Structure 1
Amino acid sequence: MRRFTLRTGIRWKITLAIAAVGALVAVALSLVVHSAARVSMLESAREAQLANVNVIARFVEAGRKPVLGAKVNDPELPAALREKARSGRRGTYIQESRKGVPEVWAAVPLGNGQVLSLHNEFKESANMVRDLDRALVVGSISVVVAGAALGVLIGGQISRRLRKAAAAAQRVAHGDPDVRVRDAVGGVVRDETDDLARAVDAMADALQQRLEAERRVTADIAHELRTPVTGLLTAAELLPPGRPTELVRDRAQAMRALVEDVLEVARLDSTSERAELQDVALGEFVSRRVTALMPEASVRVVADEIVSTDPRRLERILGNLLANAARYGQPPVQVDIEGRVVRVRDHGPGFPEALLREGPSRFRTGSTDRAGVGHGLGLTIAEGQARVLGARLTFRNVAVPGGVDREGAAAGAVAVLWLPEQAPTATGSFPIIKLSE
């Protein structure tokens, strides 16, 4: 079962966290202030009410009538307060009225065994508490909004730095050796982002040094093998005719081709290769080259266009794509040219999943459906040459019509070369080349 994942930016996570903390703090403080204010006001009301009933009691004991709404033996007097007064003690009692306004009772015993009581609704206290609650709500909302704004500001700065670091890391991953994540992040503030940038730069430098060392070793080995392989080919030519001689020559030729491919891969890995540009009519150029390299392949020019590219490297890419289709695919092989896009399709079992997922890899030919011979350098070289041209080489499989009848089945493999609209270098441009027979 596929898990549901919610993708959000660090800016909004920080904003949400600060706003949530601000809301919790504001609510907690509001409750404390509300409770403390209410208790303080009610205590003041108790003291005032008790003082008033004491004054009225002295007037009643002097023979005067109760004033300010005080009553003797009030039947509505709460039972708990009545019992307390009859026991000879003074007291107060608070109860909520039907309107939600607190009523404060005060009662004192009289000399003749009667109880004098006084009660009032403290609307002023209720209004003050209500006004205080409004102020607390407004203050809490202001705190949350201010915290959210601060979170957006802080999170935005961190997010921008991380995005710059990610963009720089992507450029490093795509083979730009001059990019440094620490320089791309910049800024005056020093935080964990700088530590991450330094770590990525250190890792990129270490990987670059290791790749450069491997490239040099590979190039040196291949270069040293050229001389003995050439000698082996020369010696094979001197052998008497026969089947053993043909086998020796064939293997020597295969070894020579492998050495040349390894040298070419090493040169492409060095990122020092530059395209020698010429203006070429792409449809005419591809049609003639495909006819020369694979006469049985069909060519269709949907839309021709003049492109500025390196004809030698473009021919190398086409040759490797056609050789891959002939070796691992099945006929017919179709080549379509549409503007700056060249498609090469066969009708074989399709590209391996590893190649579709990770791209071409040297010395790996994929599954047994498309393997068995070769060293996996053809598509690697084609991709490297496309990179020198500033082009993009993609791979996909064609689905079986009517649905897939078995796992991994395909109706053919398609390699697509996307040539750029602008030349990758400024090495010069020449008039359109008219290729002759």
Structure 2
Amino acid sequence: MNRHWSLQARLAWRLGLVLLGSTLLVAMVISQYAWFALDNLDDVGLQIQAKQIAPHARVRNGIMSVTLPQELEQAYRSSGDGYLYAVIDPTGQIVAASSDKARTAFADLSFSRHADGETVFRLLDAGGGESSYYALQSSEGLPAGYRVIVAQGQIHPDVYIDTLLSEFALHIGWTVPVVLAAALLMAAWTIRTSLRPIKELSARALQIGPETRNLRLPTDDVADEIRALPIAINAALDRLEQGFEMQRRFTANAAHELRTPLAVLTARVAELEPSPEMRHLADDIARMNRLVSQLLQVSRLEGAPLQFATVDLNSVAETVVTFLAPLAIGAHKTLALTAAPHPILVKGAAEALENALRNLVENAIVHTAPGTEVTIIVTPEPAIAVRDHGPGVPPGQRNEIFERFWRGRVRLQSGGAGLGLAIVAETMRGHGGSVSVSDSAGGGAEFVLHFPASNGEAS
């Protein structure tokens, strides 16, 4: 399964690897530097020892004597042969030494008898290999031909390293994970705050829709690296809005242009002698008039935002029932209005709500059986319900019927164009409400216009 990482997680993970790699690299550099520094410390330590011994080596009457201060002599004795020294005369003979171990270790140094200045080397063990003693030979501060040799053993660089590592782990090492964790937290916080403008852009983009197509993404407080993206999106939205507006104007203009010839055609058909063909022709013209009217309603909904005012749902229902009563009577059906006992006030556009309710009532008149009643009920919810006695709406189609130009089996039989219920749904969305359909208690369908609960203002 593919796992999609967020940009924040990717940046945090990569930054964590960079921090870890940098820490390891610094540790390697420091350890290498410490290793070389330890070697230098060994040399410096031996030089200091040689300089401490040289002033106490004196030649009197051709005889060399070495008398070290008590503290220094005690230090060599108590080291357990960890530190050695010896003074050698020009012939290579040891004239003074810290211990028998020193005399044995420095017994054969013929290779360096004639060396002047300072020389560092490893002492040989009994088998001819290098021992654990690191030595320095120096002639500084001594009579000509004399040399002092100092050596240290046991405290090998590895011992230094182990000591440093133990001290590091005890006093410093535990802070490394804490520092890394703090650095990662700071990095995560930095990344999160740096990516906040992108999240804000995403939230703003989610608000853009058909009803809010004039919204654009902000570009002022956006980093230079991502400013090009909202600019490009805004330009695309501008082009889409222009195309949308052109389509809306075309629909409105076409509908307006059709109204006049349809009105003329309706008048001429009314002058013809009654006949079955004339009635069919009149029905077709009526459907065309309804389609043109619905197209005009769609263009208005897609145009300028609705202008809201305080509207009484009882008044909306009364206006629609009065307007459609002749249509119902002509179809041998009746309309009944059950108004609320008090005004049901909502914020909305009266004309748009009347058009939406008229579409529902016209639809109910078409589908209810002759001799039955279409009932309009205003409730304090606030809501308006329209009940008919038609075939109803199958449960599987109750979401699809509100899509534009959707035509089910019943609608095909009625000759509808599939725009009326879509207009109702869009009108209710524009009012922050919704429309639903269910089975009517007396058989048929019940459509309900639901308004937001906070919108209602009963008085």
Q: TM-score range by the shorter chain?
A: 0.5 to 0.7
Aligned with 2:307: secondary structure?
coil
Equivalent position to 1:153, from 171, 175, 190: 190
Among all aligned residue pairs of Structure 1 and Structure 2, give the percentage whose two residues are the same amino acid: 18
Distance in structure 1 (CA, Å) of the matches to 2:338 and 2:5: 45
Q: Deviations over 1:40-64 (max 9, x none)?
A: 3664587679999895477897498
Letter in 2 for 1:264: Q
Aligned with 2:125: secondary structure?
helix
Equivalent position to 2:427, from 374, 385, 388: 385
Distance in structure 1 (CA, Å) of the matches to 2:104 and 2:446: 105
CA contact (8 A) 2:338 2:378 kept: yes
Partner of 1:85: 125
Matched, 1:119 2:154: yes
Q: 1:241 to 1:224 in 2, by over 3 A?
A: same
Partner of 2:141: none
Partner of 2:238: 205
Q: Which has the higher contact order (CA 8 A, sep 6+)?
A: 1
Aligned with 1:119: secondary structure?
coil
Distance in structure 2 (CA, Å) of the matches to 1:67 and 1:300: 122
Q: Which has the larger radius of gyration?
A: 2
Shift of residue 351, structure 1, vs aligned partner: 5.4
Q: Deviations over 1:244-267 (max 9, x none)?
A: 011110001111111111111112
Q: Deviations over 1:366-425 (max 9, x none)?
A: x6586564222112221333355x232255889xxxxxxxxxxxx9897652336359xx
Distance in structure 2 (CA, Å) of the matches to 1:29 and 1:396: 71
Partner of 2:251: 218
Matched, 1:165 2:201: yes
Deviates more, 1:325-334 or 1:216-225: 325-334
Aligned with 1:386: secondary structure?
helix
Tell me how large the CA RMSD over aligned residues is: 5.2
CA contact (8 A) 2:84 2:98 kept: no
Distance in structure 2 (CA, Å) of the matches to 1:67 and 1:328: 123
Task: After TM superposition, list the pairs within 5 Å mapping 1:187-198 onto structure 2.
Answer: 187=221, 189-192=223-226, 194-198=227-231
Distance in structure 1 (CA, Å) of the matches to 2:319 and 2:126: 115
Unaligned runs of 5+ in 1: 74-82, 93-104, 109-115, 399-410, 424-428, 433-437
Letter in 2 for 1:146: A
CA contact (8 A) 1:23 1:140 kept: no
Matched, 1:318 2:315: no
Partner of 1:128: 164
Aligned with 2:212: secondary structure?
coil
Distance in structure 2 (CA, Å) of the matches to 1:85 and 1:332: 121
Q: Deviations over 1:303-322 (max 9, x none)?
A: 99543444543343233345
Task: After TM superposition, list the pairs within 5 Å mapping 1:273-292 onto structure 2.
Answer: 273-280=306-313
Q: 1:236 to 1:305 in 2, by over 3 A?
A: closer
Letter in 2 for 1:320: N
Q: 1:325 to 1:135 in 2, by over 3 A?
A: farther
Aligned with 2:416: secondary structure?
coil
CA contact (8 A) 1:19 1:151 kept: no
Letter in 2 for 1:14: L
Distance in structure 2 (CA, Å) of the matches to 1:67 and 1:286: 125
CA contact (8 A) 1:297 1:333 kept: yes
Aligned with 2:434: secondary structure?
strand
Unaligned runs of 5+ in 2: 50-80, 106-122, 137-150
* TM-score (normalizing by structure 2): 0.62
Shift of residue 223, structure 1, vs aligned partner: 1.0
CA contact (8 A) 2:97 2:103 kept: no
Equivalent position to 1:138, from 171, 175, 179: 175
Q: 1:283 to 1:258 in 2, by over 3 A?
A: closer
Letter in 2 for 1:186: D
Deviates more, 1:219-228 or 1:373-382: 373-382
Partner of 1:349: 394
Equivalent position to 1:362, from 387, 404, 415: 404
Aligned with 1:172: secondary structure?
coil
Q: How many residues align?
A: 374
Q: Deviations over 1:83-137 (max 9, x none)?
A: 9734545444xxxxxxxxxxxx6699xxxxxxx9943477654332334455366
Deviates more, 1:124-133 or 1:254-263: 124-133
Q: Deviations over 1:125-184 (max 9, x none)?
A: 43323344553663564355235424423432332x223323332333243354321xx3
Letter in 2 for 1:119: Q
